């Protein structure tokens, strides 16, 4: 299981605001280049987000579904990416003084990704999370700073 932590220099409501904005996913999630909500309920349980992954001239789409959420504290997603299967991504926001500790826990759930899961895949997930959580922190901190300017 790939688990990574990131301290974000803002309170949990500022982090949740970004997580609850489906149009931001293409900015902070490593992989997708853009995202579009498939309904108006994001991030309610069962709501979905269509995302596009581009590599040069090649592109493909996937769907992410909210499986569990506790507003302001937890968001658990299932990302489906065609032939690779699905992955479970759990984001937990923990108050940490005047900041937020974000815990990201991801692992393959179904399909080829789960069958091929190994230590090398774990290492790649750790690299992905490092970039993803750093992007999330940057967006949250800059957005919050702009709103208070």
Question: Can you tell me the distance from the alpha carbon of 8 to that of 82, in angstroms, rounded to the nearest whole number?
Answer: 32
* 149: pLDDT strictly greater than 70: no
pLDDT at 135 over 90: yes
In the sheet that holds 74-80, the strands lie side by side as 2-8, 99-110, 86-96, 74-80, 58-70, 48-55, 32-37
Q: Confidence band (pLDDT; 50, 70, 90) for 127?
A: confident
pLDDT in tens, 33-56: 778 889 999 999 999 999 887 777
Q: How confident is the model at residue 69 (pLDDT cuts 50, 70, 90)?
A: very high
How large is the angle between the packed helices 12-19 and 119-147, nearest 10 degrees? 110
Pairing assessment for the beta strands 86-96 and 99-110 based on DSSP bridges? antiparallel
- pLDDT computed for residue 48 by the predictor: 96
Check residue 145 and give its pLDDT: 67
* Token duo for residue 43: 């991030």
81-111 pLDDT tens trace: 877 789 899 999 999 999 999 999 988 888 7
**What's the token pair of residue 143?**
């957005």
Q: What tokens appear for 132 in the block? A: 């993803």
Q: Tokens 């581009």 belong to which residue? A: 54
pTM of this structure? 0.87
- Give all domains of the chain, ordered by start, each with its CATH number: 2-147 (3.30.530.20)
């Amino acid at each position: 299981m790939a688990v990574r932590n990131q301290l974000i220099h803002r309170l949990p409501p500022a982090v949740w605001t970004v997580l609850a904005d489906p149009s931001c996913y293409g900015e902070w999630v490593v992989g997708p280049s853009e995202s579009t909500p498939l309904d108006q309920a994001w991030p309610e349980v069962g709501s979905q987000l269509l995302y596009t992954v581009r590599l040069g001239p090649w592109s493909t789409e996937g769907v992410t579904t909210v499986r569990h959420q506790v507003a302001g504290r937890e968001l658990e997603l299932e990302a489906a990416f065609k032939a690779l299967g699905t992955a479970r991504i759990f984001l937990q926001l923990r108050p940490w003084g005047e900041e937020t500790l974000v815990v990201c826990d991801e692992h393959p759930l179904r399909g080829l990704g789960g069958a091929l899961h190994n230590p090398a895949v774990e290492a790649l997930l750790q690299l992905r999370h490092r970039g993803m959580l750093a992007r999330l922190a940057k967006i949250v901190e800059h957005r919050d700073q702009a709103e208070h300017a």
